[in-house]
Chain A
Amino acid sequence: MQTADKTLDEILNLAATHFKVSRAKLSPDDDFFKALGIDSLQTLDLLTKLENHFHVELPDYELQGVTDFRTLAGKIQSRL
């Protein structure tokens, strides 16, 4: 299983690439809604990208209230 740091790094890379934001501007504790400038529909898009990338299922309710990359990485790491 890959490390939590690697998972977090991959999430940041994927988010930066997909939403065309500079990777250097993204930090683990950023609010990803603000950092990526995304709405609820785009959040679903991100969720799908993450599921496809990590080959995991992320039930929506587990992500309720999750707003930062680090916590998101933890949720994904628990399903790898």
Chain B
Amino acid sequence: MNTELSWTGETMSYRCKDGLLELSLHRNPCNEIGSVSLNELESFADALQVLKQPAHALIISSDLKAGFCAGADLRELYERSQTMQKEDAAKGVRKFLERIHRALNSIDAAPLTTIAAVHGVTFGGGFELALACDLIIADKTARFCFPELRLGLIPGFGGIPRLKRDVGNAVVRDLLLTGRSFNTTKAQQIGLVSQVVSEGEALRAARATAAQIAKFDRQTSAAAKQFIKPIPHEELRREIDIFCDLFSRPAVQAGLKKFVESKDAQPYLP
């Protein structure tokens, strides 16, 4: 298939050419996921239902130097929650999470091989987006982190169940319960990252990997993926419930407020 299909949104764009689908994130400062990003990710997930026919592989990467994605847009989350009654804010958060779970589940289950080509900050929701992919290829600048507990929350975009699917429980606990970040070397040691490449080379390596994948029978690759990578639906649903229970606590609102209002070079994180 030589036809080129492309689309450009405010926060991301995609292009499908010669069987390779590439989704590029480009929302400054570091691809924070807010309502516009979610709308566009949903549009991409819908388009994926059509694009999975001509495409054999999907690469997700970032056009921004700062990194792959810094996670949820906490500023928008906090500011929106302040304009609503507590119950409405809780409902809004649940709806947001359910929508992003649907979009990430679509990427997770897509019958083509998916690769996250990451660099720099790959935190929170950005890490969760990478975890929805089949392979993570990282350059040496990448850092992975679930900082949510530092604000009184847990990851809400499917991070814990998907990380647990990929690595040992002790590693999940380390990342989750300390809120510390890992570099690429550590991420590869624990089995999270499949390839480590030089700075700025992740996308090139992902394209080379996609070219190798293109040699295989597509139906066989899809069957292998479906067999080895089940979606942990029950745990994903449970994660939404826990996140929503925690979100409505005053301590979380106070933590978000401090974080959002911080003007320090090191923003507030306990």
Distance from A41 Cβ to chain B, minimum over Cβ atoms (Å): 5
- Please indicate the chain B residues that have their CB under 8 angstroms from the CB of A57 in the complex: 183, 186
A5 contacts chain B at the CB level, 8 A cutoff: no
Contact with B along A26-52 (1 / 0, CB 8 A): 000000010000111101110110011
- Selected contact of B141 from candidates A40, A43, A48, CB within 8 Å: A48
> Contacts A41-B30, A45-B141; is A64 near B181 (CB within 8 Å)?
no
Binding site for A on B (CB under 8 A): 29-30, 66-67, 70, 120-121, 140-143, 145, 178-181, 183-186, 265-267, 269
Is the pair A52, B185 in contact by a Cβ cutoff of 8 Å?
yes
- Please indicate the chain B residues that have their CB under 8 angstroms from the CB of A47 in the complex: 143, 181
- Please indicate the chain A residues that have their CB under 8 angstroms from the CB of B269 in the complex: 64
Is the pair B141, A60 in contact by a Cβ cutoff of 8 Å?
no
In addition to A33-B265, A41-B29, 4 A-B residue pairs with Cβ atoms within 8 Å of each other are A40-B267, A44-B121, A44-B143, A44-B181
- Please indicate the chain A residues that have their CB under 8 angstroms from the CB of B178 in the complex: 59, 61
Is chain A's binding surface mostly helix, strand, loop or mixed?
helix
Distance from B120 Cβ to chain A, minimum over Cβ atoms (Å): 7
Binding site for B on A (CB under 8 A): 33, 38-41, 43-45, 47-48, 51-52, 57, 59-61, 64
- Selected contact of A60 from candidates B120, B121, B180, B184, CB within 8 Å: B180
Distance from B259 Cβ to chain A, minimum over Cβ atoms (Å): 11
